[in-house]
Amino acid sequence: MSAEKGSRNRPPKSIAKDLDACLQCGYCRDVCPVFEQDPWESASPRGKVYMLKQLDRKGFMDRILAVFDREIKVTDDFVERVYWCTSCGMCEEECHVEIPFPELWEEVKGWLVDQGVAPLDTHRAFLSRVSNVKNPFNEPESTRGDWSKEFLLSSKPEVMYYVGCTESFRMQKIAKTTATVLKAADVKFNIMGEEEWCCTSPLLRTGQKSLTESFARHTQEQMRISGANVMLTACAGCMATTKRDHTKAIGPLGYEVLHVAQYAEKLIEDGRLSFNRTIPRKVTYHDPCHLGRHAGVFEPPRNVIESIPGIELIEMPRNRRKSRCCGAGAGFKAQFDEYAVNIAAGRVQEAIDVGSEQIITTCPFCAVNLNAGAKQLGVRQPTIDLMQLILEALGPSV
């Protein structure tokens, strides 16, 4: 039962202050999407922090108190509870003492990985695959750029399009759509092809930090070779990771990282992108946690949507900083798919309740999971990527 190994069973020093700060007020409980799925205290941020606090303060007295049934140790149950989290960051948002929770959970996961008691089964495979073939899907590196054959790539690009693993190997349609939109705006772009390596988001979010530095340097080198000073991503996870975590790992990058939603907003402002078709439709926008709360990008996608003639953008009650997670993040869907889909179904219901006909988002993971949620509900409320909506609005000439 016990997963405790070696002597390093005290949580990392870097979070000690946060553990002291937590007053156990419980404001994090009701806002946590995974707590709602299994509402035991051990599944709540507050409960996990209490356990960590006891582990941090474990001392001689606890040995005596073990006689009284009080046991403080890292068990398999506790490890699973730590991974019972989508890294959505709502706990931080509501926190009385503003504990930077997504960072704290990653620190804790990293500590558990170092002890050899984590990550969970499905997450372990990520590391070997990303290490070997530079993507978590175990697809051959050489096929990464296959979707791009029909596009004219520039050798002197304005921007580099960092496609991301999901769009390269699983959702090529979004990659093609993004490329088509760039083409329509006459943007000179290129991709890294087989030299594009995973951003390491799936590893970092599950506590596996070992590859991030070398992968970040590789991406930085590819950007240097390309000569472009803007790197675009069409994935919220890639955006947050290549910008924030890569900077954290290797220092200033020397180029700007933008999500295509931000770039599209600029293209519209500069008159390079304009919409010919009127789309009479009520849509809502789902903020991906990684683009919204984590990267602070809220308005550009909304501005793009609202610039399309005929579109009516309706907000769900939980939006922007208070947006509800789709349920997929931080390896949660990979390990606990059933619960992830339940969370998505709840989010889709919110969209239906405000009268939306279609959900627009800016993250392929959110799109996949929300569509699974709609399927579970048995409703017609498709989630599409912002790029697909743009393409539709550009009209048949593109």
Partner 1 sequence: MSKRSDELHIKLSKIVGADRVRTDKMERLLHNHDLAPLPPLMEMGFKMMPDAVVRPKSAEEVSRIIGLAVREGVPLVPRGGASWGYGGAMPCEGGIVLDMTSMNEIVRMDVDNLEIEVEAGATWQKVIDEAEKAGLFIGYYPSSKPAATIAGWIATGGIGVGTYKYGSVKNNLRNMEVVLPEGQIINTGFDYVSDHSAAYNLNDLFTGTEGTLGIVTKVTLKAVPAPEVVKPISIMYPTLIELYPMMHAITRKRIQPLHIAFVDEHHSRYLKAMGKHTPGDGAILNVVLEGDKVSVEHEESVIAELITEHGGTRLSDEDAQHEWEENPYEFRVREVGVSAALAEVVVPMTEFTDTIEDLYTLIKSMKMEASVIGMLGDRNTVLLMPYYLYVEKKLVKSMASLSFGNKVGNLSMEHKGRPLGFGLFFAMNLKKIRRDGAPVMYDIKTVLDPYDIMNPGKMFEGMTRYGMPMPGAMMGMGMAMMALGKKVLPKDKGFTKAVKDHDPERGHHGGGEEKAPAPKEKA
Site for partner 1 in 247-276 (CB under 8 A): 248
Q: In sequence order, which residues have a C-beta less than 8 Å from that of residue 189 and are 6 or more positions away? A: 153, 154, 157, 158, 159, 160, 161, 179, 182, 232
Closest to 301 in 3D by CA, of 272, 275, 264: 264
59 Cα distance to chain centroid: 38
Minimum CB separation of residue 182 from partner 1 in Å reads 22
User: Alpha-carbon distance 313 to 119, whole Å?
Assistant: 40
Site for partner 1 in 140-179 (CB under 8 A): none
30 is an interface residue for partner 1 by CB under 8 A: yes
- Comparison of 221 and 315: residue with beta carbon closer to partner 1: 315
Q: Which segments within the chain are labelled E, that is strand?
A: 159-162, 189-190, 230-233, 256-259, 281-285, 311-314, 358-361, 383-385
How many residues line the site for partner 1 (CB under 8 A)?
A: 66
Token readout for 374 is 């709609």
12 is an interface residue for partner 1 by CB under 8 A: no
Q: What residue type is 79 in one-letter code?
A: V
246 is an interface residue for partner 1 by CB under 8 A: no
How far is the first Cα of the chain from the last one, in angstroms, to the nearest whole number?
60
96 is an interface residue for partner 1 by CB under 8 A: yes
Distances (CA, A) of 179 to 159, 185, 188: 12, 10, 10
Minimum CB separation of residue 271 from partner 1 in Å reads 23
Minimum CB separation of residue 92 from partner 1 in Å reads 7
3-state SS class at 95: coil
Minimum CB separation of residue 188 from partner 1 in Å reads 25
Q: Which of 210, 320, 375, 395 binds partner 1 (CB under 8 A)?
A: 320
Q: Which of 92, 107, 167, 265 binds partner 1 (CB under 8 A)?
A: 92
- Comparison of 79 and 394: residue with beta carbon closer to partner 1: 79
Phi, psi at 149, each rounded to 5° = -55, -35
Minimum CB separation of residue 295 from partner 1 in Å reads 6
Site for partner 1 in 55-74 (CB under 8 A): 57, 61-62, 64-65, 68-72
Residues in touch with partner 1 (CB under 8 A): 16-18, 20-27, 29-31, 39-42, 47, 50-51, 54, 57, 61-62, 64-65, 68-72, 75, 77-78, 81, 89, 92, 94, 96-100, 102-103, 240, 244, 248, 292-299, 313-315, 317-322
